[in-house]
Chain A
């Protein structure tokens, strides 16, 4: 069973968002990390990069697979989790503790289109 964290918002492509004022903290769900298996690399954008909702902002890589990361919100990247550069396995260890990027949102209204924990749970159990 995959862990699902209450109080976060989720996208259909398995990213989670934690809202902190106008900052969105973004990571991938426990379900997504399990699907990937042992993560060998987290490809991340640069600070100050502009990203749009639904656009790729990076990727997770394992030995035999790569999975793009899609931004659940639009905005400007204000921070990336540099710890993951040398220790991508942290995403496997705890996908909710180890966020990937922080984005200053340009349109908080976009959050309304995301799922809550219950809806996400229903989606992955389908």
Chain B
């Protein structure tokens, strides 16, 4: 086996370089390290594989996964991914660049982030967006900390019990260590209960309130009166949104939110076992200075050309250190590019169509499943789009076992006695009918 392909050093090179640094051997490079810490034992690792062997290894690993027809959402949605996107993302100038610190040779990255920010503002109706965050749940946690930093003498953040379980867990973890108490707002009839919210707000210790725009049951929530109630207590109103659904549902801005967060995954990002996805955060203008994360702004260069730079960096961790609102020091840039290209290709009309197709499939499945007599409605009459909840009348384990055997991932138990289904535009009529006929046999 020849020299490893990623190391260009010839024997001559090593000799010449060692000479220049006045050392005799490569070991001497570690002469400052106490002897006892230099590892002498061989590492218990596999030997190097060739590319062909690596391919074979992964073919074997891939074969251990079972391809499933996905009828679950719960924070990760199997939407159509246009072929253009992976093609453009694989361009090495995007893929192998670092954070755009040297703006003169990073105008490509900076420009698409500016476009991304613009599109997130359009979808949410908010004034300003950051350059993206890790994922939806962590973006919600950042919003929680932002609410604490923006209000005075408040100790608690309220979370709707209708948020995705993962969002509640992540925000609660951050809150625990950040020294913030979390209160859960009960759910009534499948929707965040406004009277319960008001009762909690009346305690006077609430810095922020996070509620889902489309909730864990797939229900499109009605937030009439929420913003007024929250603002009356000088707290921040935060909406957790599905950006794909935002093409049709009322925007966080229209509901009066101060901050909109969510996961961009539903904008065509492949499931890939949970990541990489991309979190987004957009806020009203007055909260700009407290917003965490990178931001790209437009300016001109010294020849008067339009140019883009990282801006408002004085808010950020590398300058503020322990005084920063957040420790985030990057964005999910390539995934922000993914979302930007997706939204360019789809436009408002394509997104509307995605919602229409998904909702039609979901409504069909919903009605047929009720006809099987194996379910009853969990929240009768509540409006939904691609995802919905039912109450199973058969044992859930038995139901799931049957589905699993048939290659269907469906009927996710989201809490005791409630399962959810999700239909995206990728599910064919045959697949939906197949699912129904399996369930009929349970």
Contact = CB atoms under 8 A, between A and B. Distances in A.
B299 to A, nearest CB: 11
A89 interface: no
B417 to A, nearest CB: 48
Contacts of B320: 66
B91 interface: no
A43 B289 contact: yes
A40 B323 contact: no
Interface centre among B152, B312, B319, B323 (most CB of A within 10 A): B319
B313 A64 contact: yes
Contacts of B38: none
B105 interface: no
* Chain B contact patch, size range: under 10
Q: How large is the interface on A (under 10, 10 to 19, 20 to 34, 35 or more residues)?
A: 10 to 19
B323 A63 contact: no
A68 B320 CA distance: 10
B314 A61 contact: yes
A63 B289 contact: no
Contacts of A66: 314-315, 319-320, 323
21 contacts: A40-B314, A41-B289, A41-B312, A41-B314, A43-B289, A49-B152, A61-B314, A61-B315, A62-B314, A63-B313, A64-B313, A64-B314, A64-B319, A65-B314, A65-B319, A66-B314, A66-B315, A66-B319, A66-B320, A66-B323, A68-B323
Interface of B: 152, 289, 312-315, 319-320, 323
A110 B169 CA distance: 47
B128 to A, nearest CB: 14
A41 B289 CA distance: 10
A49 B151 CA distance: 12
Contacts of B152: 49
Interface of A: 40-41, 43, 49, 59, 61-66, 68
Contacts of A61: 314-315
A64 B319 CA distance: 7
Contacts of B315: 61, 66
B151 to A, nearest CB: 11
A60 to B, nearest CB: 9
A99 B126 CA distance: 33
Q: Which of A40, A43, A61, A64 has the most CB of B within 10 A?
A: A61
Contacts of A41: 289, 312, 314
Contacts of B312: 41
Contacts of A68: 323
A64 B313 CA distance: 7
Contacts of A49: 152
Nearest to B152: A49
A43 B315 CA distance: 11
Contacts of A64: 313-314, 319
B55 to A, nearest CB: 47
Contacts of A65: 314, 319
A101 B312 CA distance: 23
Contacts of A40: 314
Nearest to A67: B314
B347 to A, nearest CB: 36
A68 B321 CA distance: 12
A63 B152 CA distance: 27
A45 to B, nearest CB: 10
Contacts of B313: 63-64
A7 B320 CA distance: 33
A64 B320 CA distance: 10
Nearest to A43: B289
Residue of B289, B314, B315 with most partner-chain A CB within 10 A: B314
A94 to B, nearest CB: 22
A88 to B, nearest CB: 11
A119 to B, nearest CB: 29
Nearest to A66: B314
A41 B315 CA distance: 11
